[in-house]
């Protein structure tokens, strides 16, 4: 796909788009790991209770999916919101798979559904922001 912008032709490369999606997901999971490790240290060495754990997981998931959507949409020429939704969905899907893998079991309850929907919405928001701030 080509389009002309400011007297130059810009081409959309599918491989660079997939690489941007992968980089966005990697950055999102790096943010998630850093926050989760910091929160685990905070819980371990202070008197902080585990009552705020669902809030921390939800906020971290939304912020990370916004970052993933932003990075995925930066390389796109159009439909940044769609690339962002896709990045948010992949982010949430991998979180669910990791939760199942580490022994939490697969339960599609209200918390899982809420996290999935918020991650997809956050990815879409990040995609809208990313496509509008892209340098192409």
Does residue 4 sit within a domain? no
C-alpha pair distances (Å), 13 with each of 5, 10, 48, 65: 16, 10, 48, 23
Average pLDDT over residues 109-131: 90
- Read off the pTM: 0.82
Q: What is the number of domains present in the chain?
A: 1
Does residue 118 sit within a domain? yes
pLDDT band at 84, cuts 50/70/90? very high
Does residue 1 sit within a domain? no
Listed residue (27, 3, 25, 26) closest to 76, CA to CA: 3
C-alpha pair distances (Å), 122 with each of 10, 30, 34, 106: 28, 17, 19, 23
pLDDT band at 136, cuts 50/70/90? low
Residue range of the domain that includes 31: 9-132
Calculate the average pLDDT of the chain. Answer: 84
Q: Which residues contact 79 (CB under 8 A, 6 or more apart)?
A: 131
Does residue 70 sit within a domain? yes
Average pLDDT over residues 104-114: 76
pLDDT band at 135, cuts 50/70/90? low
What confidence score (pLDDT) does residue 61 get? 93
What confidence score (pLDDT) does residue 109 get? 80
What confidence score (pLDDT) does residue 104 get? 62
């Amino acid at each position: 796909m080509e389009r002309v912008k400011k007297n130059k032709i810009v081409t959309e490369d599918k491989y660079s788009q997939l690489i941007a999606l992968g980089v966005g997901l990697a950055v999102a999971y790096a943010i998630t790991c850093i926050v989760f490790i910091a929160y685990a240290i905070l819980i371990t060495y202070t008197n902080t209770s585990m009552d705020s754990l669902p809030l921390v997981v939800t906020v971290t998931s939304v912020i990370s999916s916004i970052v993933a959507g932003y990075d995925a949409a930066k390389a796109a020429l159009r439909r940044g919101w769609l690339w962002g939704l896709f990045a948010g969905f992949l982010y949430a899907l991998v979180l669910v798979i990791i939760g199942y893998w580490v022994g939490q079991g697969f339960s599609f309850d209200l918390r899982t559904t809420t996290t999935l929907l918020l991650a997809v919405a956050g990815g879409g928001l990040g995609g809208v922001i990313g496509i509008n701030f892209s340098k192409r």
